[in-house]
Amino acid sequence: MSAPTWLEHGSLVLASNNKGKLAEFEKLFQQLDLPVQVIPQGQLQIEDAIEDGLSFVENAIIKARHAARISGKPAMADDSGICVPVLGGAPGIYSARYAGDHGNDQANNEKLLADLIPFRKDGETIEGMFVCVLALVTHADDPLPQIFQGVWKGQILEEIRGANGFGYDPLFWLPELGKSSAELSKEEKNLISHRGQAMQLFRQSLAK
């Protein structure tokens, strides 16, 4: 079995400046034990790309190409968010800036709770799902980006619960565990989360 061509570069740029994502990816890549240096784009003074795609896949590719073009190295990007069917899939790709300011977790959670009030009915749950799309490009103009997708289904709570994680974790309820995502340890979350699922598919691709 030959190694993937991007492994030959010896380094891979992770196209994110989100501290929560970077912390999760650090643990996930440690588990993979790859013979490659994973470099957060911030260490290379690479600013976030303009995410003007209309899907998780488009935005993940945009971010990966942006990091690869500036760094000259292979790059992986994550685009992820929470989708609520009763809201037509919102916040979706706008999850990080749902309330206006990018990355304001408290404001985003408050807006989601407010937007769901008209849909709350006694005894009925509101379904939601976290989505993660990873895009890997060997260079900026790679015509065949590799895509790995994870979907994590749960329910949306009526109030925040738990202090771990980031983003919408405090509102994401896992009935089979009796916990919110924000009540899981990093290790527990990585085993089952949308990002963990996508990384498992990435790992499986290395064995092919």
Catalytic residues: 79
Which burial class, exposed, middle or buried, applies to 110 when counting CB atoms under 10 A from its CB (0-12, 13-18, 19+)? Answer: middle
- Judged by DSSP in three states, 161 sits in coil
Supply φ then ψ for residue 2, to 5 degrees: -85, 150
What DSSP designation does 113 have?
A: H
8 A C-beta contact, residue 112 and residue 92: no
Alpha-carbon distance of 69 to 66, in angstroms, equals 5
Which burial class, exposed, middle or buried, applies to 68 when counting CB atoms under 10 A from its CB (0-12, 13-18, 19+)? Answer: buried
8 A C-beta contact, residue 78 and residue 60: yes
CB atoms closer than 10 angstroms to residue 133: 24
CB atoms closer than 10 angstroms to residue 1: 6
Please give the structure tokens belonging to residue 142.
Answer: 């790679």
8 A C-beta contact, residue 25 and residue 42: no
